[in-house]
Amino acid sequence: MQRIMLRGKLHQARVTHAELNYEGSCAIDQDLLDAVNIREYEQIDIYNIENGERFHTYAISGERGSRMISLNGAAARKAAVGDRIIICAYAPMSEQQIEGYKPSLVYLDADNNIVRTSKDIPLQLA
């Protein structure tokens, strides 16, 4: 049996561009892609914190050092510039691969600068 597991997450990313008439996808600063280990053309899920929209697209490389998060094509209708989003990538894993596995978590500030990385999501308390 395989389970679909979180592989990497960019948390609290800010949308910097929304390009309706650009070929679809999400352009992400290559430095951020490297930090979270997302490859160009890899499927990603995007969760808009501001309006609750959740959708699939794929990542493309944005200019290194630009801190760009650009929603392109139809995705441009799902968020506005300045919206906070979460970008996730998932992977199928066997029970053996899951043992001791931890995802790459990258936390961003309002300017899409990396403020910290982690392998653990904090325990949610009641």
Q: Is 94 a catalytic residue?
A: no
Q: Is 75 annotated as a binding residue?
A: yes
Q: Is 27 annotated as a binding residue?
A: no
8-state DSSP, 93: E
* Token pair 């890899």: residue: 42
The catalytically annotated residue of 58, 61, 90, 118 is 58
Distance CA 109, CA 99 (A): 31
Distance CA 119, CA 106 (A): 9
Q: Is 58 a catalytic residue?
A: yes
Q: Is 18 annotated as a binding residue?
A: no
Q: Is 91 annotated as a binding residue?
A: no
Report yes or no: 46 and 85 within 8 Å, Cβ to Cβ. Answer: yes
The phi, psi pair for 81, rounded to 5°, reads -55, 130
Could you list the residues known to form a binding site, using ranges.
57, 73-75
Give the residue numbers marked as catalytic.
25, 58
Residues annotated within the binding site for substrate are 57, 73-75
